Structure 1
C-alpha cells in the first residue's frame, strides 16, 4: 500500500510543523528544477518522517510520537545518480522534553569503514570507535519524484 505523501518548503524542527505546505505541482517543479523541497510521509501535521530533497543530498528525519527527530539519515550523491548513506544519527531525549540526553552517529565510508561517535550531554562525554562493515545496503538511486520508499525504511541492511 502506498503511503500518503505531502509536500512543503521545509520541516521546522523547533516548532514541529511544516513551513509553507506545497501542492504536488509545486514540489514536482522544485524536483524537476533541482531545487530543495521537503516530503512529509503519512501526514502533514504528524508525519512518520520527512525527507529534505536536494540535487546532491537527501536527508531523512524519523520522528517519534512527540515529533522529535529521533533518527536521521544523510544520503549524499556519489556518482551516476547514486546516493550513499554517509551518516545515521540516533538521539535519546530527556523524558518528555526536547533536550537531547545522548546520541550516537555512525559515519559510513564507501570502503566499509564505519566510525561510531557516541555523545553524552550531561555531563558531556564523547566516545569514538572505528570498525568496518558491509555497506552495500547504503546505496540508493536518486529518487524519482513521488518515489521515496527506499529512503523511509529504518532497517537498511
Structure 2
C-alpha cells in the first residue's frame, strides 16, 4: 500500500513539474521601449529591416548606444564586440555574465527595459531571446525560420 502511494505521489509530482515548464506566452512589447540586437555578420542591416517591419515596438536606437559607448569605453563593450551566447535551449532562466551585465548597462544608456536578442541558430534558422535587461531574466525563448514572425509575436495583436 505504501509503495502504491509513493508511486502516485511521484507521478503527480512529475506531472506538476512538467506543467511548470510549459512555454508561456511572450509579454507584449507594443509601445514599450526595447533594444533589438541581431547577431551575425549582417546584423545591422537585418536589425534595421526588422525594426521597420515591426514598428509597434518603441525600438531603442542602437547607433546612439554605440556613440555613447565610444565616448565612454569602460562602460560596456559595444554590441558588436559582445560575444554571442550559445543558442537558447528553452530552459534557461537567467542570462549569465558577461551578457547580463552588458545588457543591464545597455538598458541604463538607452532606457530600454527589454532586450530582444536574435541570432542565427541552425537548422531552425533563428533563435530569439527576450531578456529583462534589469535582472538578466530570460522571459521568452522562440525558434523559427522567419525573424519577422518571431518579432511580430512579441509586438502583440
Class of the TM-score when normalised by the shorter of the 2 chains: under 0.3
Q: TM-score w.r.t. structure 2 length?
A: 0.25
Higher relative contact order (CA 8 A, sep 6+): 2
User: 1 or 2, which has the higher strand percentage?
Assistant: 1
Is the radius of gyration larger for structure 1 or structure 2? 2
User: 1 or 2, which has the higher helix percentage?
Assistant: 2
